[in-house]
Structure 1
Amino acid sequence: MADRSSTAHAPALLFLRPASELTLKSSRTRRRFQQLLVRNLKDALRSQEIPYRFQGSWSWFLIETEAPLQAIDVLRHVPGIGPIMPIELVTGTTLEEIVRRGTETFAERVRGRRFAVRARRRGDHPYRSRDIEVELGAALRPFAERVDLTNPEVTVYVEVREDRAYFYTTILKGMGGLPIGSQGKALVLISGGFDSAVAAWLALRRGVAVDYLFCNLGGKAYERAVLQVAKVLADAWSFGTRPRFYSLDFGPVVDEMRRHVRPAYWQVVLKRLMYRAGEAIARESDALALITGESLGQVSSQTLKNLHAIEAGTSLPVLRPLLTYDKEEIIDLARQIGTATLSERVREYCALTPDRPVTATRPEAVDQEMAKLPLSVLEQAIATATVYDLRALSASELVTPYLFIEEIPEDAEVIDCQSEALYEHWHYPGARHMDPWQLLQQFRHLDRNRVYVLYCPRGLQSAYVAEVMQREGYEAYSFKGGVPALKAYAQARGIEVPEF
């Protein structure tokens, strides 16, 4: 079985084993899991444009590649892969050649150090694995300090497979876990913060393929920030699948909830509404469960009684991989995964924090509050969901659509990036003047909880500054079309605009 992507000059070899957990499965289950694992690791290499040749058997895989460092990096992101061993020498299988070539290659490696030889053999050969260990060990012994089978500084491993012997001294830890897709699919309720991203990663590691549901409470810049987090998970950890990202405009849903539900119940009712939306999307995407980043006792809605009351609103299983994790453990995992830097820039939505939220409610009490709501607004949000293919999204698609705005929100701060003379001639009422360079140097002193609308003569410089601000976690936009469009916008609202 082989996949050839290109011919290679002196290609490197990587020896892989499936994660040990796969060996505990029945033959039928293990065969299915390993088929998924092979599919996923090939997708990982292809997606990074790494040339490779693949060979595999029941208990090992061999990757031949011109880019071993890049291949190792991506293969360590594939759930279901166990140890990865870079091959340092390949020989024939006669005992004489194994000992001779092994001594030539590793004599300097063991010089003055404690060492051991470990051998494994598969196939029909006129010697035992123990014979390799004894004879190669004896040949290397004159160069070394001594043999140490308990705590060696260098271990020379020899794997004899049919007509080839493979030597290595380094064992790299793979991701372990189960191949993605082996446990079906679930829908992750993602907010962009540390918790939901880590929960998604833990589910991926256990073989669950995931899609994402984002209930947007904060506008397009918020959506962009969360998409960036989900795209890291899709591009770096979801090989073998095509995760989808469902974005729902939850603003109208929240407005109705605030009108009809008692403030103390806002948090638990909002979660119940998100679960209900998740159940509807899960049916569409064939997901078998919901996944959340909830951690027991972390916030008021995550007490055990509140979680019970919230979960009563869905018929799907709700998986909470982080239930017993504390915040420091979660952030440490986010750093390992690569989502921490993006998650810490996601501005939290804080408009639904009542003074005294319920912390020990009952399902019946939440049912009573839910009964006050016209659920047609939730159905509308579900029906008009925007769906993204995360792995197909380009960098430009994660930037351009989120930079521009055509209206000025009521509570936004407007910043004029024109020259001082043009600002004096006309500026939008209430706008403060900061030239682009000044704003780039000073925007980190601005309030992160405000919305900012920037404008300049053509909308180009302000778009650049808005993008930089968005990358730092600010909700900032450039007014589309620059000053001419802004003047037209102002005139349409009865604001006087002088002739130039």
Structure 2
Amino acid sequence: MTPMLLIRYGEIHLKGQNRPFFEKVLLHAIIASAKKFDGYVDKGQGRYYLRNVKPQDMPQAINAMSKIFGIYSVSPAMEMEKDLEIIFQAAADMACRKLKSLSKETATFKVESKRADKRFPMNSMTLSAEAGGYILEHVPGLSVDVHHPDFTVYIEVRESAFVYTDIVMGSGGMPVGTSGKGMLLLSGGIDSPVAGYMMAKRGIALEAVHYHSFPYTSERAKQKVIELAQELSAYTGPIKIHMVHFTDIQMSIYEKCPEEQLTLIMRVFMMRIAEKIAKDRNCGALITGESLGQVASQTLASLTVTNSVIDLPVFRPLIGMDKLEIMDIAKRIDTYETSILPYEDCCTVFVPKHPVTHPKLEKILKSVKLLDSEALIADALAKTEVITVTPACVE
């Protein structure tokens, strides 16, 4: 018997003739993540198998697999030959260990079996019954409850036989890269990392653009964004961050444009710059953390203005969510604590006292014409710094 990880995928099962493409992308993601544990991966019938992981590395391996989009669930399992006596003994050993882990003298259980290999001589219902009887006979303190058991012993008969008691839920969704690539407008706040997470879950590979306004924003604020991208990359894989120097644009807007329009005109420039970088990097869409009505630049009228100045589609996965819902996701994906660190970002610089909430497109564009937009954007792009982040390092 050999310990290993049994990895399941979910939504990919719904694919038709292009299913092998999704399976291949997911396999590559699993292999890349398994390298740090010296594990090797095989594909089975509706499953992936991660083998050769050291016992001390198993918890970290389970955590890493559960963060890969496309994986529905993961189980630490024992793999063995398809011999009934060996399967029953493994099931009893698993049940005994599970009982001890519950710190109880007595507990209830049931057995669920799946016989994917129809050549196996015992069907699923009979296998469950026989294995349950063996467990009752060999593990004192257990009784059967098929409706509300304290735990379940699972048996799967496939290329080999697998026995396990735990199912760790994965992130679900689609493998990153299967839906193209998007450019995430990444601030230092709570919302944009969550937006990136949600679009990556739908198969979008991410790059990011961040606007910093040195010396009005600190080096520590810039580092905060890098840390957010690192935390996000645990789910998405490596992320390129395009660090755009935004100070000169903000100063020009502040000096020449009506105060109440400052935030929205800054947003217009952000969208235009992001689109230029996105097209250069073959991204098919922009991604923002905007939520309808949350702030002045996120009213329906304001979003209409910012949409009108670019050609690429804009994905706003948080558009119908309230702040508490967004915060819950941020906490779950471990970006929340970094997001609330008290370092300023460029959106907090030159904030008008009374920003316009129902802007007219023609008035905003008229104000934009007061600026040398092309020169300002070209200068900002020329000064852009590109950083690649992974969970382990920054390049």
Using the aligned pairs only, state the percent identity: 28
User: Using the alignment, how far apart are the partners of 2:321 and 2:89 within structure 1?
Assistant: 53
Kindly provide the CA deviation profile for residues 317-364 of structure 1, in whole angstroms up to 9, marking residues without a partner as x: 111111122222222322222222222123244332222211011322
Distance verdict in 2 for CA 1:373–1:30, change over 3 Å: same
Q: CA deviation at 1:144?
A: 5.5
Q: State yes or no: 1:366 paired with 2:353.
A: no
How do 1:50-449 residues align onto structure 2 when only pairs under 5 Å count? 50-64=37-51, 65-66=53-54, 67-87=57-77, 89-103=78-92, 105-106=94-95, 109=98, 112-123=106-117, 124-142=119-137, 143=140, 146-162=143-159, 164-219=160-215, 221=219, 222-234=221-233, 236-239=234-237, 242-345=238-341, 346-349=343-346, 350-375=348-373, 376-391=375-390, 394=393
User: Using the alignment, how far apart are the partners of 1:364 and 1:58 within structure 2?
Assistant: 59
Secondary structure of the 2:200 match is: helix
Could you tell me which residue of structure 1 aligns to residue 5 of structure 2?
14
Given that 1:95 and 1:127 are in contact with CA atoms closer than 8 Å, whether structure 2 keeps it comes out as no
Q: CA deviation at 1:271?
A: 0.6
Kindly provide the CA deviation profile for residues 215-236 of structure 1, in whole angstroms up to 9, marking residues without a partner as x: 21244513232222222222x2
Distance verdict in 2 for CA 1:224–1:105, change over 3 Å: closer
Distance verdict in 2 for CA 1:42–1:224, change over 3 Å: same
Secondary structure of the 1:332 match is: helix
How do 1:37-48 residues align onto structure 2 when only pairs under 5 Å count? 37-46=26-35
User: Using the alignment, how far apart are the partners of 1:11 and 1:137 within structure 2?
Assistant: 22
Q: CA deviation at 1:76?
A: 1.3
Distance verdict in 2 for CA 1:371–1:57, change over 3 Å: same
Deviating 4+ runs (over 4 angstroms): 107-111, 142-145, 392-395
Secondary structure of the 2:359 match is: coil
TM-score, normalised to structure 1, is: 0.71
Kindly provide the CA deviation profile for residues 259-293 of structure 1, in whole angstroms up to 9, marking residues without a partner as x: 22211111111111100001100011101100111
Secondary structure of the 1:309 match is: helix
How do 1:457-472 residues align onto structure 2 when only pairs under 5 Å count? none
User: Using the alignment, how far apart are the partners of 2:208 and 2:392 within structure 1?
Assistant: 14
Given that 1:12 and 1:68 are in contact with CA atoms closer than 8 Å, whether structure 2 keeps it comes out as no
User: Using the alignment, how far apart are the partners of 1:393 and 1:57 within structure 2?
Assistant: 30
Kindly provide the CA deviation profile for residues 120-167 of structure 1, in whole angstroms up to 9, marking residues without a partner as x: 1122122211220121122334545542222111211101113x2111
Given that 1:279 and 1:316 are in contact with CA atoms closer than 8 Å, whether structure 2 keeps it comes out as yes
Distance verdict in 2 for CA 1:170–1:96, change over 3 Å: same
User: Using the alignment, how far apart are the partners of 1:344 and 1:24 within structure 2?
Assistant: 39
Q: CA deviation at 1:23?
A: 0.9
Q: CA deviation at 1:85?
A: 0.8
Kindly provide the CA deviation profile for residues 403-443 of structure 1, in whole angstroms up to 9, marking residues without a partner as x: xxxxxxxxxxxxxxxxxxxxxxxxxxxxxxxxxxxxxxxxx
User: Using the alignment, how far apart are the partners of 2:191 and 2:125 within structure 1?
Assistant: 49
User: Using the alignment, how far apart are the partners of 1:21 and 1:172 within structure 2?
Assistant: 17
Q: CA deviation at 1:12?
A: 2.9
Distance verdict in 2 for CA 1:249–1:388, change over 3 Å: same
TM-score, normalised to structure 2, is: 0.89
Of residues 334-343 and 30-39 in structure 1, the stretch that sits farther from structure 2 once superposed is: 334-343
- Say which structure, 1 or 2, has more relative contact order (CA 8 Å, 6+ apart): 2
Distance verdict in 2 for CA 1:393–1:166, change over 3 Å: closer
Distance verdict in 2 for CA 1:108–1:243, change over 3 Å: closer
Given that 1:189 and 1:214 are in contact with CA atoms closer than 8 Å, whether structure 2 keeps it comes out as yes
Q: How many residues align?
A: 378
User: Using the alignment, how far apart are the partners of 1:248 and 1:125 within structure 2?
Assistant: 61
User: Using the alignment, how far apart are the partners of 1:12 and 1:90 within structure 2?
Assistant: 6
Distance verdict in 2 for CA 1:101–1:261, change over 3 Å: closer
CA RMSD of aligned residues (A): 2.2
User: Using the alignment, how far apart are the partners of 1:394 and 1:130 within structure 2?
Assistant: 50
User: Using the alignment, how far apart are the partners of 1:187 and 1:287 within structure 2?
Assistant: 6
Given that 2:94 and 2:165 are in contact with CA atoms closer than 8 Å, whether structure 1 keeps it comes out as no
Given that 2:244 and 2:384 are in contact with CA atoms closer than 8 Å, whether structure 1 keeps it comes out as yes
Q: CA deviation at 1:389?
A: 1.8
Distance verdict in 2 for CA 1:216–1:102, change over 3 Å: closer
Given that 2:3 and 2:79 are in contact with CA atoms closer than 8 Å, whether structure 1 keeps it comes out as no
- Matched to 2:106, the amino acid is G
* Structure of larger gyration radius: 1
Distance verdict in 2 for CA 1:146–1:186, change over 3 Å: same
- Matched to 2:37, the amino acid is I
Distance verdict in 2 for CA 1:138–1:278, change over 3 Å: same
